[in-house]
Structure 1
Amino acid sequence: MKNTMVTRRQALGLGAAGSAALILAGCGGSSSSDSSSSSSSDSTEKSSYKVAMIMSGTITDGGWDQGHYESLQRALESHDKWEMLEPKENTADADAATAAQSYVDQDVDLIVGNGNQFASDWQEVVADAVENHPNVHFLITNTDPETEMSDYETLDNVETVLPDFTQTGALAGVVAGLMTQTKSIGFIGGMKLPSTISKYSAYLAAAQKVNDGVQGQYNFEAGYTDASLGTQLTEQWINTYDVDVMWGDASAVDNGSRQALEAAGADTHFDIAQPIDIMGPDQPTVITSTVTDWMISQAMDEIESGSFGGGKAITANIDNGGISLGAFSDKVPSDVQDQITSYVEQIKDGSFLTDAEVDAVKSTLG
């Protein structure tokens, strides 16, 4: 049976209409990494490579797509054999396959798709590329190949990237728990996806670990485009629950949340941004950011060595630099920054939160 998947692109169209069902098929359908390695390693070493990026938004959106673009720029800084082609921005689902095919026809070495919507959009393009353009490779982010690509004919030329959502949530939770003065923190998610639930559960569990008694307010159905909804939710939580620290996973909605925090007082109401580092004078409420690097550099290395493919999922975590905290505002006292640094090391080595502590929060979410 073909997977029924909710993608980030589909969620953008839903706004605040509510959560959708996410039906995940079982594992299967992946080609072995052995066949991938033999296929990739047959090609001779090249003196130059090309990379292209396809995104649902823009490189200046201040969040999701800008984060991917910045990850690509960082990767290029350490790969002087690689050249970036002009990204395709604002790519609708209906145009996604055509956009990818245009790069395939140019024998672009690496095509990056910014989000799991491309896993469903590119199935036929990927299959054709294996047969007719064997040097073309695909990297799709935020995608689990076992559940979201099980109906692919082959994954010889595909890899995905999966951030460690628990680590990301724990980083934000430590900051929130140490900075809240009211023991009341909030979280807004664009849609009730497994990644959203994992992030929030670790966020609240970590905050409670460093500050006993912290309570969390959440909304998983805010969509990604309505900034006014972010303002409305945050104002309500400030007035009703005295929330003084927010973390968001809802793109433009997060901008609205920051407006409400600023109106309530930027010296006492704080925001933790993601997925890029936006702390600065233009963001008076942002005290730090949880930053995701999309591991494009590793994909480039694997292509050069002939080891790319087989449907492998690259994990982005603290250990490999895929997950990190951005710069701190001077509103975070130096002793608190020292505490956060210590907790980051514990999160990194897995000694900070247990699965049971995270699951205890998940069990309350329904």
Structure 2
Amino acid sequence: MTKSISRRCALKLGFIGTAGAMASLVGCGGSSNDAAASGDASTTQGSYKVALVISGPKNDGGWGQGHYESLKAAVESHPNWEMLEPKENTADADAATAAQSYVDLGVNLIIAAGNEFVSAWGDVVAEAADANPNVKFLMTNTDPDTDLADYETLDNLETVQVNLAQTGALAGIAAGLMTASGHIGFIGGMRLPTTLTKYAAYLAAAQKVRRGTEGHYNFEAGFTDASFGSKLTEQWINTNDVDVMWGDASAVDNGARQALEAAGADTHFDIAQPIDIVGDDNPCVITSTVTDWMFGTAMDEVESGSFGGGKVIEANMGNGGVYLGKFSDKVPADVQAKITDCAEQIKDGSLVSDDEISAIKATL
């Protein structure tokens, strides 16, 4: 059974553009955080410990930061839990050692930010199930049926998956209601099934709120080269009159925002993800599709003794795992109201059907 390709695998296989000055944002290498290895914890103290392993820095403005902030919020609402400093910039070669060091510390919940470490963690998970049954593992963006098919046991493991159709549709209604030209853009780091689903839902929802909306996309931008995002977006602005962008390409998205700002931040807009970054530092960002990785749910299950068995925790609009962040003042009040109304239709499944999303996906 073929396993899903991770962002790190995309980097290793060379599907990205030339890594520029923004390469540090994805943390393609580096050693584990010494503070985490020594067991230094955050200021929150409790009887349960939780730790996070990420392939990039915790404050990258995207993937890593989304996980880090979700975990901080979960710990703040769970007074019995203590969060260790995350192991940042963890390379594939260090992934098993990083996980084992937390096992040795008796950490109750060890989280992998994405499926990057699936292969490396197999033996650690299996051995911990026998020798350290109180240690549990959580992997985000991971499908147990494919990614974990080779695992000996899933008794001490669960995964988190995001409702990508809802995420894409939320971005789509904002784009469709804010575009003046009827041309919207999307940049993906790699042609992954998850990326295609996001774009298909994005365009389907945009066309629901603005008939005739045209989508422009690139699914092979990589995750590190901001200059590629800037050049591609500038080209789309000049040749296709694209005036709203949404992206799934980490540092490349930062480059897209630079091009939008250069074209005029009052007329060219960006929808950010997966954290809320609306503010003066990002003048073209009008809202954000935000993901809460549902770590609190996993922590509750650990406390109750119900965690494990390869269960999937879904992050969706119904449980607060997927939502739109703050609106910029550039979004008129009446448009904000329309977006809010449409978001409720996305939540109840009445705005865009799975068949409509699949129809667009089949053309990609």
| CA shift for structure 1 position 8 | 1.3
Equivalent residues in 2 for 1:64-75 (5 A)? 64-75=63-74
User: Percent of aligned positions with the same letter in both sequences?
Assistant: 69
Match of 1:128 in 2: 127
8 Å CA contact retained: 1:177, 1:211: yes
| CA shift for structure 1 position 12 | 3.1
After superposition, the CA RMSD in angstroms is 1.2
Match of 1:35 in 2: none
Match of 1:149 in 2: 148
Match of 2:91 in 1: 92
The whole-number CA distance in structure 1 between the counterparts of 2:97 and 2:58 is: 20
8 Å CA contact retained: 2:10, 2:16: no
Match of 1:57 in 2: 56
Deviation track 1:7-40 (CA, whole Å, cap 9, x = no partner) reads 111223435369xxxxxxxxxxxxxxxxxxxxxx
The whole-number CA distance in structure 2 between the counterparts of 1:194 and 1:85 is: 33
Deviation track 1:264-323 (CA, whole Å, cap 9, x = no partner) reads 000000000000000000100000000001110000000000100000111000000000
The whole-number CA distance in structure 2 between the counterparts of 1:171 and 1:94 is: 37
The whole-number CA distance in structure 1 between the counterparts of 2:117 and 2:334 is: 44
Deviation track 1:117-148 (CA, whole Å, cap 9, x = no partner) reads 12222001000000100000000000011111
| CA shift for structure 1 position 4 | 4.4
- TM (norm. structure 2) is 0.91
- Give the match's secondary structure for 1:160: strand
Runs of 4+ in 1 over 6 A off after TM superposition: none
The whole-number CA distance in structure 2 between the counterparts of 1:316 and 1:355 is: 18
Deviation track 1:39-90 (CA, whole Å, cap 9, x = no partner) reads xxxxxxxx71000110001111000000000000110111000001111000
Match of 2:197 in 1: 198
8 Å CA contact retained: 2:3, 2:146: no
| CA shift for structure 1 position 100 | 0.1
8 Å CA contact retained: 1:142, 1:162: yes
Which letter does structure 1 place at the counterpart of 2:175? A
Match of 1:31 in 2: none
Match of 1:138 in 2: 137
Match of 1:117 in 2: 116
Residue segments in structure 1 that go unaligned for 5+ positions in a row: 19-46
Which letter does structure 2 place at the counterpart of 1:123? G
8 Å CA contact retained: 1:173, 1:202: yes
The whole-number CA distance in structure 1 between the counterparts of 2:161 and 2:4 is: 16
- Name which structure has the greater RCO, CA cutoff 8 Å, separation 6+: 1
Which letter does structure 1 place at the counterpart of 2:16? A
The whole-number CA distance in structure 1 between the counterparts of 2:144 and 2:279 is: 37
The whole-number CA distance in structure 1 between the counterparts of 2:155 and 2:136 is: 9
Which letter does structure 2 place at the counterpart of 1:97? A
Match of 2:31 in 1: none
- Give the match's secondary structure for 2:145: helix
- TM (norm. structure 1) is 0.90
- Give the match's secondary structure for 2:215: strand
Count of residue pairs the alignment pairs up: 336
Match of 2:22 in 1: none
The whole-number CA distance in structure 2 between the counterparts of 1:322 and 1:5 is: 22
Match of 1:40 in 2: none
- Give the match's secondary structure for 1:146: coil
Match of 2:347 in 1: 348
8 Å CA contact retained: 1:55, 1:114: yes
Whether 1:255 aligns to 2:254 is yes
- Give the match's secondary structure for 1:361: helix
Residue segments in structure 2 that go unaligned for 5+ positions in a row: 19-45
- Give the match's secondary structure for 2:130: helix
Match of 2:16 in 1: 16
- Give the match's secondary structure for 2:146: helix
8 Å CA contact retained: 1:15, 1:226: no
Whether 1:213 aligns to 2:212 is yes
8 Å CA contact retained: 2:17, 2:225: no
| CA shift for structure 1 position 111 | 0.3
